[in-house]
Amino acid sequence: MRLALGLTLLGLLALAALLAPLAEGWLGHDPFTPDLFKRHAPASAEHLLGTDDLGRDLLLRLLHGARVSLAVGVATALAAALLGTVIGLLAAWRGGVLDAALMRLADGMLALPALPVLVVLAAADTGRIGLPRGEPLSDILRIVAILTVFGWVGVARLARAAALSVLARDYVRAARALGASEARVLLRHVVPNIAGPIAVATALAVAGAILAESALSFLGLGIAPPAASWGNMLANAQDLVFSAPWAAVWPGLAILMAVAGCTLVADGLRR
């Protein structure tokens, strides 16, 4: 039930993201070019959700924002899942000092207030290492990289706990007794059996990444305009509370849908 609802919400958003370039043709607007004769237009047949302070169509920007926000969320979650699984497996498999060190590191990361640290990280000027700011693709890569710094922790803790219990099972001992290499034990026997908890943690990581990206973009440290992300649309909407208050409604609802969708999927998978 929860799973179905969550998947429906996410499916709708994915559809919106896929339709963005087509919708441009249907509606006949360009979401990136200012049209100063149509500033602050309320919802109408021509602009279904109205326009912003530069006369750009809000519906099209919302659809394009879905591409950016979902891409950042999914890419971050995949990177975090991969890194977290490797670290969690390593900690559970090697045990001892390495396990203790990795888990203290995870505890330390969890204890930190993530957003202030992310703000300082996001401010590092990546232009000097060849990732120019303001280019949509390099902005996305930069945000994915810094969100992964915190994203792996949740996955690693769940993966370690699950791997510890699997490694103590008889079928693992049997596989070792039959002469299976450690790599085969981990990849054939452990990883498939901890896929459930990893999927839950990954779904939660998508939610966390979408929220964090929108927060950073809202603060002007994430995806830079003219590219649209739900976060930078809301940053713009904050300046328009008097002239175009409707601009604030939809990007926030979209973030809400995406995050609630991921949370519901995680809840559903857990049961």
Partner 1 sequence: MLTARLLQIAVTMAALSFAMFLLIGLMPGDPIDLAIAGDPRLTAEDAARLRALHGLDQPLLSRYAAWAGGLLHGQFGHSRLFAQPVAQVIWPALASTLVLLGAALAVAATLGIGLGLLAAARPRLAPAVDTIAILGQSAPTFWLGILLIILFAVTLGWLPAGGTSDAGGLDALRFLVLPVATLAVANLAAYARHSAAAVGFTLREPWITAARARGNGEARVLLRHAFPNAAVPVLQVAALDAGALVGGALITETLFARPGMGKLIYDAVMGNDTNLALVALLLVALVTMLATLAADLAQRALDPRLRDA
Instruction: Provide the binding-site residues for partner 1, judged by CB under 8 A.
Output: 104, 107-108, 110-117, 119-125, 128-129, 207, 211, 214-215, 218-221, 231, 234, 237-238, 241-242, 245, 248-249, 251-252, 255-256, 259-260, 263-264
Closest to 233 (Cα-Cα) out of 25, 47, 62 = 62
Closest to 53 (Cα-Cα) out of 242, 256, 220, 258 = 242
**Tokens representing 136?**
């949509």
Burial of 2 (0-12, 13-18, 19+ CB in 10 A): middle
Q: Please identify, using beta-carbon distances, which residue of 89 and 91 lies nearer to partner 1.
A: 91
Least spacing, CB of residue 187 vs partner 1, in Å: 32
Q: What are the angstrom distances between the C-alpha of 1 and each of 10, 142, 269? A: 14, 36, 11
Q: Please identify, using beta-carbon distances, which residue of 23 and 244 lies nearer to partner 1.
A: 244
Least spacing, CB of residue 50 vs partner 1, in Å: 14
CB of 260 within 8 A of CB of 9? yes
Q: Please identify, using beta-carbon distances, which residue of 117 and 199 lies nearer to partner 1.
A: 117
Least spacing, CB of residue 150 vs partner 1, in Å: 10
Q: Please identify, using beta-carbon distances, which residue of 89 and 207 lies nearer to partner 1.
A: 207
The position carrying tokens 């940053």 is 235
Least spacing, CB of residue 254 vs partner 1, in Å: 10
At 57 the three-state DSSP class reads strand
Q: Please identify, using beta-carbon distances, which residue of 7 and 172 lies nearer to partner 1.
A: 7
Cα 228 versus chain centre, distance: 16
Least spacing, CB of residue 222 vs partner 1, in Å: 12
- Round to whole Å and give the CA distance between 205 and 8: 18
- Round to whole Å and give the CA distance between 118 and 23: 34
Q: Please identify, using beta-carbon distances, which residue of 46 and 107 lies nearer to partner 1.
A: 107
Least spacing, CB of residue 164 vs partner 1, in Å: 18
